[in-house]
Amino acid sequence: MFMHGRILKPGPFPKGRTVRPVVWNMALRSTTALVGGYAAAAVLATLLARLLPIARVEATSWGMVLSFAIYAGIALWCFHEHRVLRVAALVWGIALVGGGLLWLLGVRP
Amino acid sequence: MAWIHGWLGLLAGWILFAMFLTGTASYFRPEITQWMQPEFRAKPVTSAHAAETAVAHMQRVGADDLQWYVYLPDARTAVTRVFEQRKPDPKAPRRRAPEIVLDPATGDVVRARETRGGEHFYRFHFQLQLPHPWGRWLAGLCAMFMLGAIVSGVITHKRIFADFFTLRWNKGQRSWLDAHNVSAVLALPYHAMITYTGLITLVAMYMPWPVTANYAKPADFAQAAFGAPTERAAQGTAKPLVAIGPLVADAERRFGARVATLVVRNPNDAASTVTLYRHANASLNGRGPSVTYAGSDGRFLEGAGGVGPALATAGVMLGLHVAQFAGPALRWAYFVLGLTGAAMVGTGLLLWTAKRRKPGATPFFGLKLVERLNIGVIAGLPIGMAAYLLANRLIPAETANRADAEVATMFWTWGAVAVLQVLRPARRAWTEGFAIGAAAFAVIPVVDTLTTSRGLPGSILTGDTLFAAFDFAMLAIAAMLALGAWRSARSRPVAKIRKPQSETVHA
């Protein structure tokens, strides 16, 4: 089910090359889940708060209340998806694009 | 998902265990504080009377303060607590004025032993005795790991219904798995709720970005969301504060519930205000409404609190976590569920070692490390907590800095246990750790009887329910730890059971 299980299986990989890629893979995956996941969750929750067409205090509160569920979902998905580059690209991509969008939008008038 | 579940649980497990245990104790924070000041006996008074005596005291000691925060007593809290915000003195360094603890009946400063009381467990629960803000960040990180572990744990369990009825004793690893499943699955709604709502209690710190995107001044959000009154600057002309009792009575009529907190801004200024907050036991929503009066003539200025669904959701989440709304029966249910949380984390940690131990083989370093940390935290922390309560009775009441000494006793004892157990073989260390914990808790009612007049036989005869219940709770905890010692002494290492293919073993 996991990448982890796959790579350690004796298979097409030459024996000497299996350990280091696993370490780098896992470091990238964990950092993406922990830090990138937080950034992406913060950006999505903030976009929700900024764009919901309701009273600003309510929109702000919905963003805050839902943020940890978004974070947990993203972080676990980082360990579910096999292709680590896809994980990193999507999570950091959401954080960067969403962050840029928020910067363009500015504070709600 | 099984694999990530194991790692999330292992990395955060020890801190989570400590958070669960001290958080569970915090459901009885005011009661623990009362028990730790046995000299002071509560005399029930109305909140209006307590407010009058507190304000009279503050007029004597801090008439020109910027603000007074007054926490009124209730059915569970015996004292009035006041925090004053003094006018900044350009000569003196800025520091917070110490808390003032008053007798609600008379308004005099309470004469009782200095102690942090239940507040210490409560603060440790989310600050972990680390400097601000690192403790809160670490607690939040561990809570997030817990949330991830819960979600991945549920995904791991395809047989969640069968797990309700499965507990196989004395089967080694299998039993730890079953115990972990039973404690986790039975109370799953509680664990999920308490973890998520715990994160929500500090959401303003962990996730402030929605506020910064919507408000140029974050203080405007606090004002709109939490019923802070409109800012009114001091005029500089003196005008004495009106009698506070009638304001409290009026607010209680408006709320239909007790007033818990009153905030006086710019006392004795012409523009002074008095804001009164509803008691949290009146509603599931932890953030009650407030009303504000003019301090100079007592006229009603504004009311805050009619909030929309999102703020109500956040308020109810806070209320569910701190459980101020809960009556005695529900509070004990919360307490038991909190213990199942500690049990879930503890059995999960034990499962990690049980799964990796090979009969006859020398344990590898990681296994020994995890096992020793397990003993140090699971058997050690209860001993530390008992030492804190014992120190309260054994350190003389007049000693200087005794509150800090009590706290230091807890951590030195815990640390000593965690270090010294390494000298013993692991299985003996489990048994002896639990046995010491059981003895320490069993001794608490005895020491209470010897050092105060409110010990066990007396408290039952005089109807001192709080003290009697507290001492019985200590005996119950001692019995639980004794059971742990007995079981760990009896258990023999069982040969690893061949697991069928369908079984889910995490970690």
* pTM of structure: 0.90
pLDDT above 70 as % of chain B: 93
Is A42 an interface residue toward B (CB < 8 Å)? yes
Look up residue A54 and give its amino acid.
I
Mean pLDDT of A72-80: 95
**Per-residue pLDDT, A5:** 43
Pull the structure tokens for residue B390. 């014992």
Domain ranges of chain B: 2-38+118-187+321-490, 47-110+228-304
Pull the structure tokens for residue A68. 């940890």
Is A58 an interface residue toward B (CB < 8 Å)? yes
| Closest chain A residue to B1, measured at CA | A80
Mean pLDDT of A37-62: 96
Compare A109 and B16 and report the one with higher pLDDT: B16
pLDDT of B93 over the 50 cut: yes
Distance of CA B95 to the CA centre of its chain: 26
**CA quadruple B87, B92, B94, B95: dihedral, nearest 10:** -90
Is A97 an interface residue toward B (CB < 8 Å)? no
pLDDT of B314 over the 60 cut: yes
**Per-residue pLDDT, B500:** 46
Is B209 an interface residue toward A (CB < 8 Å)? yes
Q: How confident is the model at residue B484 (pLDDT cuts 50, 70, 90)?
A: very high
Mean pLDDT of B449-463: 91
Query: Which ranges of B375-464 does DSSP label H, i.e. alpha helix?
Result: 380-394, 402-420, 426-451, 456-461
pLDDT of B166 over the 70 cut: no
Residue of B207, B217, B226, B285 to mutate for A, most A C-beta atoms under 10 A: B207
With contacts defined as CB-CB under 8 Å, which chain A residues touch B225? Answer: 57, 60-61
pLDDT above 70 as % of chain A: 83
Beta-carbon separation of B210 and A59 below 8 A: yes
pLDDT of B287 over the 50 cut: yes
Residue partners of B46: CB distance under 8 A and separation at least 6 = none
3-state secondary structure B192-208: HHHHHHHHHHCHHHHCC
Beta-carbon separation of B311 and A69 below 8 A: no
Residue of A3, A61, A67, A108 to mutate for B, most B C-beta atoms under 10 A: A61
Beta-carbon separation of B1 and A107 below 8 A: no
Q: Quick one: how many helices (H) and strands (E) in chain B?
A: 20, 7
- 3-state SS class at B66: coil
Mean pLDDT of B336-357: 91
pLDDT of B501 over the 70 cut: no
With contacts defined as CB-CB under 8 Å, which chain A residues touch B211? Answer: 49, 60, 64
Mean pLDDT of B445-465: 92
The string of pLDDT tens digits covering residues B38-86 is 999 878 899 999 999 999 999 999 898 999 999 999 999 999 999 999 8
| Closest chain A residue to B221, measured at CA | A57
**Which residue from A50, A61, A69 is facing B314, i.e. has the nearest CB?**
A61
Is A76 an interface residue toward B (CB < 8 Å)? yes
Q: How many other CB atoms sit within 10 Å of the CB of residue B443? A: 17
Compare A49 and B226 and report the one with higher pLDDT: A49
Pull the structure tokens for residue B51. 């407010």
Is B146 an interface residue toward A (CB < 8 Å)? no
Least confident residue range of A71-85, B105-119, B153-167, B445-459: B153-167
- The span from the CA of B484 to the CA of B384, in Å, is 17
| Closest chain A residue to B219, measured at CA | A57
pLDDT of B504 over the 80 cut: no
**Which residue from A60, A75, A105 is facing B148, i.e. has the nearest CB?**
A75
Residue of B214, B217, B221, B287 to mutate for A, most A C-beta atoms under 10 A: B214
For residue B133, whether the previous peptide bond is cis, meaning omega lies within 30 degrees of 0, is yes
- The span from the CA of A24 to the CA of A64, in Å, is 33
**Per-residue pLDDT, A18:** 56
Least confident residue range of B160-169, B200-209, B237-246, B437-446: B160-169
H/E stretch holding A75 reads helix A56-80
With contacts defined as CB-CB under 8 Å, which chain B residues touch A79? Answer: 1, 3-4
pLDDT of B445 over the 80 cut: yes
- The span from the CA of B263 to the CA of B275, in Å, is 5
Beta-carbon separation of A105 and B213 below 8 A: yes
Residue of A48, A65, A94 to mutate for B, most B C-beta atoms under 10 A: A65
Is A88 an interface residue toward B (CB < 8 Å)? no
The string of pLDDT tens digits covering residues B1-36 is 678 888 899 999 999 999 999 999 999 999 999 999
**Per-residue pLDDT, B160:** 63
Least confident residue range of A2-16, B275-289, B318-332: A2-16
**Per-residue pLDDT, B492:** 60
| Closest chain A residue to B140, measured at CA | A68
pLDDT of B496 over the 50 cut: no
Is A51 an interface residue toward B (CB < 8 Å)? no
Q: How confident is the model at residue A46 (pLDDT cuts 50, 70, 90)?
A: very high
pLDDT of B391 over the 80 cut: yes
Is B1 an interface residue toward A (CB < 8 Å)? yes
- The span from the CA of B98 to the CA of B96, in Å, is 6
* ipTM metric: 0.88
pLDDT of B506 over the 70 cut: no
- The span from the CA of B342 to the CA of B176, in Å, is 14
Q: Shortest CA distance to B292 belongs to which of B302, B283, B282?
A: B302
**Per-residue pLDDT, A11:** 46
pLDDT of B159 over the 80 cut: no
Beta-carbon separation of A45 and B210 below 8 A: yes
**Which residue from B224, B308, B314 is facing A64, i.e. has the nearest CB?**
B314
**Per-residue pLDDT, B502:** 46
Mean pLDDT of B355-361: 83
Distance of CA B67 to the CA centre of its chain: 27
Mean pLDDT of B148-172: 73
Is B4 an interface residue toward A (CB < 8 Å)? yes
Q: How many Cα neighbours within 13 Å face the side chain of B200?
A: 28
